[in-house]
Amino acid sequence: LDGRSTSGTDTSQIITDVLDKMYSESGRANPYPLYAQLRELGPVVTAPDGTVLISGYAEQRAFLQDHRLTKHPGRRLAAAGWPDWRDRPSLQLMFESMLFLNPPEHTRLRRLVSAAFTPARVERMRPVVERITADLLDALPGGTVNFVEDFALPMPIAVVAALLGVPSSDWAMFQSLARDWTLVLDDISPATVERADRAAVEMGECFTRLAKDRAKHPQDDMMSVIVAAQGDDKLTGRELVTMAALLLVAGFETSSGLLSKGLVALLRHPEQAARLRAEPDLAVSAAEELIRYDSPIQLVPNRTAEEDIEVAGVKLAARQPVIAVIGAGNRDPKVFSRPEELILDRQEAPPLSFGGGVHYCLGAPLARIEAQVALPAVLRKFPDIELAGTPVPRAGHVISGLLKLPVSL
């Protein structure tokens, strides 16, 4: 299982080829044949540049859960030409968030926000998700629409904004700010950082205003809970803005990818879509299967070990980069029967799409509710809905979603 023992010339060539194609437009649209090639080489392989690629399900779980693997975004940013990243509002806001921190700093922030993200509060969001879904579907103009712009983006933004307590008059503005800011996850060129900086500053001001308001007039929303925390858990003003922004960004392109790619999967499997229309009880397992079948997060990068270690029988050198290829693990035939098929009542292992270990997705229960509510609602409201063109993938492959999804209603 030693990743490096597989690196003969042919193997290196295949890995290089798979990596090149994976980031291309066609690879982003359908990476699964490439993943199959990767898995054939073994559950863990090493690329010629030393990056360890994990495609096996069990191996990914072991790596994601291993506390010796930690995140060091500063190194990556410095290597990419941004040693002064803390001076840039968009990079600071993104990379100082708990998503990029390690215990114990991570533990403190995560504990606080978990206390505000209780199962009861998330379940209380279900009727809100239903109402937002119904309003957006009612507002669709008919004919052919871009499902991404008209539904899959505004829906999750509205849900997270409602959860935080952002007034509905500001939801559209938050959508455009969050989109500009998220660009730095895919591309940290001067032009994107410039645009993202403006968005980050404006978003910071909005959240600061909201926090001040909730400190004086608490309401039944997450911002009020976070602001009310006392003692060791109390957040500084900067931490508070960073946390609110993280919730917004983590819960929007991802959920948007789930809704848009989930709809594509259903429209390409009309017999499965017909079942979902007819059987409301299928919604829970269907959402789970769509999360597995085409994960909105395809790669979990950014973890390294600080010293030489061994995980799942694989030797890892200090600072050797590791990428969990989530989309490949979700189709591991050792874990899923007929993994390439969409089977809405599948009851097998949980998908890897929400990651694992201390950074396991905080919003997983909310994302599940969004898919359980929205996808059956779309199918029922539009019995004749069909694809009206080829879906266009968005630029990134870590967060994997669509830019355009033309459907005729």
Cis peptide preceding 104, ω within 30 of 0: yes
Question: Does position 329 bind ligand HEM by CB under 6 A?
Answer: no
Provide DSSP, 35-78: HHHHHHH-SEEE-TTS-EEE--HHHHHHHHH-TTEEE-HHHHHH
Considering the complex, state which of residue 199 and residue 374 has its C-beta at the smaller distance from ligand HEM: 374
- What phi and psi values does residue 314 have, to the nearest 5 degrees? -105, 130
The least distance separating ligand HEM from the CB of residue 322, rounded to whole angstroms, comes to 11
| x/- track of binding to ligand HEM for residues 251-290 (CB under 6 A) | x--xx--x--------------------------------
Count the alpha carbons within 13 Å of 405 in the hemisphere toward its beta carbon: 27
The least distance separating ligand HEM from the CB of residue 140, rounded to whole angstroms, comes to 22
Question: Does position 222 bind ligand HEM by CB under 6 A?
Answer: no
- Return the range that interacts with ligand HEM (CB under 6 A); candidates 50-58, 142-150, 179-187, 294-302: 294-302
Question: Does position 110 bind ligand HEM by CB under 6 A?
Answer: yes
The least distance separating ligand HEM from the CB of residue 235, rounded to whole angstroms, comes to 14
**Which residue's Cβ lies closest to ligand HEM?**
363
Question: Strands 309-311 and 69-71, how do they pair?
Answer: unpaired
Task: Pick one of 222, 300, 322, 385: the residue that binds ligand HEM (CB under 6 A).
Answer: 300
Task: Pick one of 177, 247, 305, 373: the residue that binds ligand HEM (CB under 6 A).
Answer: 247
Considering the complex, state which of residue 1 and residue 364 has its C-beta at the smaller distance from ligand HEM: 364
| x/- track of binding to ligand HEM for residues 148-187 (CB under 6 A) | ------------x---------------------------
Cα 50 from Cα 47, distance rounded (Å): 5
Task: Pick one of 246, 264, 283, 290: the residue that binds ligand HEM (CB under 6 A).
Answer: 246
177, two tokens: 């700010």
Considering the complex, state which of residue 14 and residue 283 has its C-beta at the smaller distance from ligand HEM: 283
Cα 363 from Cα 291, distance rounded (Å): 13
Considering the complex, state which of residue 129 and residue 385 has its C-beta at the smaller distance from ligand HEM: 129
What is the chain's alpha carbon radius of gyration, rounded to the nearest angstrom?
21
Q: What Cα–Cα distance (Å) separates residue 139 from each residue in 107, 132, 136?
A: 42, 11, 5
* CA dihedral sign of residues 78, 79, 82, 86: negative
Cα 275 from Cα 81, distance rounded (Å): 51
Binding site for ligand HEM (CB under 6 A): 98-99, 110, 160, 246-247, 250-251, 254-255, 258, 296-297, 300, 302, 353-355, 359, 361-363, 366-367
